[in-house]
Structure 1
Amino acid sequence: MKGNVIVGQSGGPTAAINSSLAGVYRTAKDRGARKVFGMLHGIQGLLEERYIDLSEHITNELDAELLKRTPAAYLGSCRYKLPEIHENMELYDKIFEILNKLEIEAFIYIGGNDSMDTIKKLSDYAIVKGHSQKFIGCPKTIDNDLALTDHTPGFGSAAKYIGTSVKEIIRDSFCLEYKNGLVTIIEIMGRNAGWLTGAAALAQGEDCQGPDMIYLPELTFDLGGFMKRIRALLAEKTSVVVAVSEGIRLEDGRYVCELGQTADFVDAFGHKQLTGTAAYLANYIAGEVGCKTRAIELSTLQRAASHCSSRVDILEAYQVGGAAVKAADEGDSGKMVVLNRLSDDPYQCGTEVKDVHKIANDERLVPRNWVNEEGTYVTDEFVTYVRPLIQGDVSPVMVDGIPRHLYKPGYLGQR
């Protein structure tokens, strides 16, 4: 590698995203890159020429190890969708002027579906205009919904946190007895894909029966059928725990969370903000049944809980970061690194690259046969798929009883 490398992070962060960043940095330096730049807040920051030289921030092996264990996007993230090339050619000209000025050989973008769209567009523009830079996507999303890869870095740690938290919530829910019973609704991230919500089944084991029901967004949510099952469960037990995806919808297409909202909120990509599914269902159950209810949103904790990260996930995140640099150095562009599962027992997984045009703007959903016929729980096949991804622990570096993160004040506006 003769030139420089630039790397950015985009979309929602994960507990493993910075491990991929560490993998990009270390592999690029090992392959001879003169400098490894980090975009501050992704492509949006690059357009404003906001970037850092990572060698000034990762100065030794301890820094690299701390980075692997640091949650959130160390470089800062963004939700910025590039326009189509023909819609704003000047914008692309500006990006490539900056890349040329920095003598960039390889552009690595760590992110999910929308981030892979950025890689697709930039690589297409480079081909059309004859630019030499290579563009490689590095997968990252707790949603686990990228096409052509067995799974995505970030998902394993989020699944481990969800399984652990659901188990603890179930244990807590049996502490007190209420006259008409207790129903706890746990809301888990997932707009269209239910991989995270399905991970609630990991709570089940010899010492825990797991949640009573699990509802994924891939299937239509039947409010009447749901209430019938709630009543039946309360007739048998004093505590009921249900895991639901934030994105479950009624037959008419409305999100359940919309039933309790008075206004719509959308993000930069036009996606409706989904929140309040558990609160609506808990209030509805309380009104219909008269029992005690609780609504719990795991929310940001699902992607920020680095103290509960999976060792397999952290190692694979580092691995795909390195594989992205290797692919660019060997001449690939317009590709994304994918994880290819070779074996479940013992678990083995390798990397390869796939055409990003077949990945960007696509979504990989939970297969229908991995959900039971009633649509109220995931099958053993789902659990067998997820369980290897949550194995092992990554011990935080503890200082005064609290995990220490890699922290460099100033460049992201921290105090």
Structure 2
Amino acid sequence: MKGNVLVGQSGGPTAVINSSLAGVIQAAKKYGAGKVYGMHYGIEGFLKEDIIDLDEYITCHADLSLLKRTPSAFLGSCRYKLPPIEGNEDVYDRMFEIMEKYNIEYFLYIGGNDSMDTIKMLSDYAAKKDKPQKFMGVPKTIDNDLPLTDHTPGYGSAAKYIATSMKEIIRDNASFGASKPTVCVVEIMGRHAGWLTAASALSRDSDCEGPDLIYLPEVPFDLDSFMEKVKHLAETKRSVVIAVSEGVRLADGRFVCELGNMSDYVDAFGHKQLSGCASFLTNKITEATGLKSRPIEFSTLQRCATHMASRVDVDEAAAVGFVACQAAMEGHTGMMITIQVTSREPYLVTYNKYDIHEIANVERKVPRDWIINDGTYVSEKYLEYARPLILGNILPYYAGGLPKHLTLHTKDK
């Protein structure tokens, strides 16, 4: 019998983060791990020795199947930044003491950029102190901004939700154009990378013209140019719908949302809470034109809509969890699993391992040549890239007309 597995979830949840957890559990059982423990609220909970015995919740295939259909992070998440190793060895010694207490041999962390930094520091400390534990990163982020992987689990489902919702918004907004145009600005997540907002272009099809303008944070935002384009569209159309990243910035580096009533909250990683970009822009539109304008902010909806998860995304999320656990149990450490697309039509992928030092704290943005029309749209190259990622569905299990979820409170098996 091998040692035990410890797995945690970190950062913003996705529609498929629990599929990765299911993949880890499946691999641990297949390859003979002792027990599978979960960190309650990620590394922050682990530091408090808040550890969950997953055998109490996952007892059969039906539980795993329901877990894959459950939104948010089943184990709970956190945004907790580990301190530098130098000068804080007592913190790291404490973590390894807890691992030894629970006979943890394999440590897996499901998350994005900041979570991969956690894996990097823990694997570095283990190497420095000649510790036997193995550390593997399992990629997760709707932002799709991790390097070296073609895309990240979570992105496909978020893109599917955004494209679907955009189609519905465009249809709804077009209902009210009898007398004068209505302008709708849709704010989509994306601090520095515009992958999510780019997904709004997937709504364009034979039955939908797609958004009129798309603004990503990769290109400086010009408010005067924006207003001129809106005025021109309002003169030629009865309905105007615009997609904008929450993180669009002016040429001087200020977030557009900072021009309005943005929160002063900053998280442990120094990230400002971005919100209010669409509200600011619609207020400017109404002031300048007198047109009715409406802001829509998807906010957390775009990351928790498991009922609209992409089948491709669910399967890949489970696969990276499985491969990560398998790799750790084979002796690999200080790495993250990546998805490599070998063919987009037909869609085929493979899974690789990369050194975590090449991934942690590196942010991948939308290629500049995929952004067209003076920074107001995305090209066919993006659409070819993203279309396979949103394919297929995984239907929820329903009870009383509503989806059923697996939670830490459901022990009555």
Report the TM range for the smaller structure's normalisation: over 0.9
Aligned to 2:212: 212
Structure 1: how far apart are the matches of 2:372 and 2:262? Answer: 34
Structure 2: how far apart are the matches of 1:123 and 1:173? Answer: 51
Aligned to 1:285: 285
Deviations 1:23-49 (A, max 9, x none): 000110110011000000011101100
Residue 203 (1) aligns with residue 203 (2): yes
Deviation at 1:263, TM superposition (A): 5.2
Structure 1: how far apart are the matches of 2:63 and 2:390? Answer: 25
Q: Which amino acid aligns with 1:339?
A: I
Structure 1: how far apart are the matches of 2:291 and 2:179? Answer: 8
Deviation at 1:373, TM superposition (A): 4.2
Aligned to 1:95: 95
- TM-score norm. by structure 2 comes to 0.98
Structure 1: how far apart are the matches of 2:130 and 2:262? Answer: 51
Deviation at 1:410, TM superposition (A): 8.0
Q: Which amino acid aligns with 2:100?
A: N
Structure 2: how far apart are the matches of 1:251 and 1:265? Answer: 23
Aligned to 2:120: 120
Given that 1:180 and 1:290 are in contact with CA atoms closer than 8 Å, whether structure 2 keeps it comes out as no
Secondary structure (helix, strand or coil) at the match of 1:374 reads coil
Deviations 1:68-114 (A, max 9, x none): 01000000000000011003110000000000111111000000000
Given that 2:74 and 2:408 are in contact with CA atoms closer than 8 Å, whether structure 1 keeps it comes out as no
Aligned to 1:397: 397
Structure 1: how far apart are the matches of 2:212 and 2:317? Answer: 33
Aligned residue runs from structure 1 range 349-364, under 5 A: 349-364=349-364
Secondary structure (helix, strand or coil) at the match of 2:27 reads helix
Structure 1: how far apart are the matches of 2:121 and 2:300? Answer: 30
Secondary structure (helix, strand or coil) at the match of 1:157 reads helix
Aligned residue runs from structure 1 range 99-110, under 5 A: 99-110=99-110
Given that 2:142 and 2:154 are in contact with CA atoms closer than 8 Å, whether structure 1 keeps it comes out as yes
Q: Provide structure 2 residue ranges, at least 5 long, that are not aligned to the other structure.
A: none
Q: Which amino acid aligns with 1:388?
A: P
Aligned to 1:295: 295
Aligned to 2:177: 177
Shifted more, 177-186 versus 376-385: the winner is 177-186
Shifted more, 402-411 versus 47-56: the winner is 402-411
Deviation at 1:408, TM superposition (A): 3.0
Deviation at 1:262, TM superposition (A): 6.3
Deviation at 1:297, TM superposition (A): 0.2
Deviation at 1:261, TM superposition (A): 2.1
Given that 1:39 and 1:45 are in contact with CA atoms closer than 8 Å, whether structure 2 keeps it comes out as yes
Secondary structure (helix, strand or coil) at the match of 1:174 reads helix
Deviation at 1:409, TM superposition (A): 1.2
- CA gap of 1:262–1:316, structure 2 versus 1, over 3 A, is closer
Aligned to 1:328: 328
Aligned to 2:194: 194
Given that 2:263 and 2:275 are in contact with CA atoms closer than 8 Å, whether structure 1 keeps it comes out as no
Given that 2:310 and 2:393 are in contact with CA atoms closer than 8 Å, whether structure 1 keeps it comes out as yes
Secondary structure (helix, strand or coil) at the match of 2:148 reads coil
Given that 1:14 and 1:73 are in contact with CA atoms closer than 8 Å, whether structure 2 keeps it comes out as yes
Secondary structure (helix, strand or coil) at the match of 1:138 reads strand
Structure 2: how far apart are the matches of 1:27 and 1:264? Answer: 43
Structure 2: how far apart are the matches of 1:181 and 1:157? Answer: 32
Aligned to 1:243: 243
Given that 1:214 and 1:376 are in contact with CA atoms closer than 8 Å, whether structure 2 keeps it comes out as yes
Secondary structure (helix, strand or coil) at the match of 2:293 reads strand
Deviation at 1:232, TM superposition (A): 0.7
- CA gap of 1:179–1:244, structure 2 versus 1, over 3 A, is same
Shifted more, 2-11 versus 177-186: the winner is 177-186
Aligned to 2:74: 74
Q: CA RMSD in A?
A: 1.1
Structure 1: how far apart are the matches of 2:68 and 2:262? Answer: 41
Q: Which amino acid aligns with 1:145?
A: D
Q: Which amino acid aligns with 2:211?
A: P
Structure 2: how far apart are the matches of 1:175 and 1:240? Answer: 11
Aligned to 2:221: 221
Given that 1:140 and 1:154 are in contact with CA atoms closer than 8 Å, whether structure 2 keeps it comes out as yes
Structure 1: how far apart are the matches of 2:105 and 2:408? Answer: 26
Structure 2: how far apart are the matches of 1:117 and 1:87? Answer: 18
Structure 1: how far apart are the matches of 2:373 and 2:180? Answer: 29
Aligned to 1:307: 307
Q: Provide structure 1 residue ranges, at least 5 long, that are not aligned to the other structure.
A: none
Residue 372 (1) aligns with residue 372 (2): yes
Aligned to 1:271: 271
Aligned residue runs from structure 1 range 5-16, under 5 A: 5-16=5-16
Aligned to 1:56: 56
Secondary structure (helix, strand or coil) at the match of 2:372 reads coil
Aligned to 2:347: 347
Q: Which amino acid aligns with 2:134?
A: K
Given that 2:215 and 2:243 are in contact with CA atoms closer than 8 Å, whether structure 1 keeps it comes out as yes
Structure 2: how far apart are the matches of 1:304 and 1:85? Answer: 34
Deviation at 1:329, TM superposition (A): 1.1
Q: Which amino acid aligns with 1:304?
A: C
Secondary structure (helix, strand or coil) at the match of 1:136 reads strand
Aligned to 2:23: 23
Given that 2:262 and 2:275 are in contact with CA atoms closer than 8 Å, whether structure 1 keeps it comes out as no
Structure 1: how far apart are the matches of 2:103 and 2:253? Answer: 49
- CA gap of 1:407–1:262, structure 2 versus 1, over 3 A, is closer
Structure 2: how far apart are the matches of 1:258 and 1:270? Answer: 16
Deviation at 1:235, TM superposition (A): 0.7
Aligned to 2:256: 256
Deviations 1:214-260 (A, max 9, x none): 00000000111111111111111111000000000001111000001
